[in-house]
Amino acid sequence: MNCTGADLPTVLLEYGATGNSVVWTLVQHEVAHFARVCSYDRAYEGWSDAGPGPQSMHQQVYELHRLLQAAHIGPPYILVGWSLGGMIDRLYADEYPEEVSGMVFVDATHEDIAFGDKPFRELFTGKPIPAVQTIKSSRFR
């Protein structure tokens, strides 16, 4: 997780299905002038370790929630979601509504768009499972 800036609320940047947190570099630099802004890599992507499987959207939301707790980054959050990140943000707001004060969608994917022969909405089912410790050295231990 990479956080810059200092003022509240905290802006959380969620990238799409491809890429990693680096896609937000220029945006994060500008937002840091007026708010604390954080980007991160989901499990298996960018600089993150692997996490428990399966990596459902519920699991990704659960892991983000736990990451924020471990990093002592409290709400309120403004969620910014690009592409698939918009669906992850909407699910986060549904699971933890008291933590979210606003949302910004950047060409966000809708839940009913077809992915093969099934809509993305079907990925919104299931229960999150607790994440295992996979980071070999962590300052949050």
Q: How many domains does the chain have?
A: 1
| Residue count (the chain) | 141
- Would the pTM of this model clear 0.85, i.e. be above it? no
Residue 137 lies in a domain: no
Residue 21 lies in a domain: yes
In degrees and rounded to multiples of 5, residue 88 shows phi and psi of -60, -40
Residue 86 structural domain = 2-124
Report whether pLDDT(141) > 70: no
Q: Which residues share a beta bridge with 106? A: 82
**Closest Cα partner for 43 from 33, 51, 34?**
51
Residue 139 lies in a domain: no
Residue 135 lies in a domain: no
Sorting pLDDT into bands at 50, 70 and 90, what band is 128?
Answer: very low
Summarised one tens digit per residue, pLDDT across range 114-127 is 767 766 666 555 54
Q: Answer for the pair 29, 4: CB distance below 8 angstroms, yes or no.
A: yes
Summarised one tens digit per residue, pLDDT across range 79-118 is 999 998 998 999 999 999 999 999 999 998 877 777 677 6
Residue 50 lies in a domain: yes
The CATH number of the domain holding residue 119 is 3.40.50.1820
Residue 136 lies in a domain: no
Residue 11 lies in a domain: yes
Residue 129 lies in a domain: no
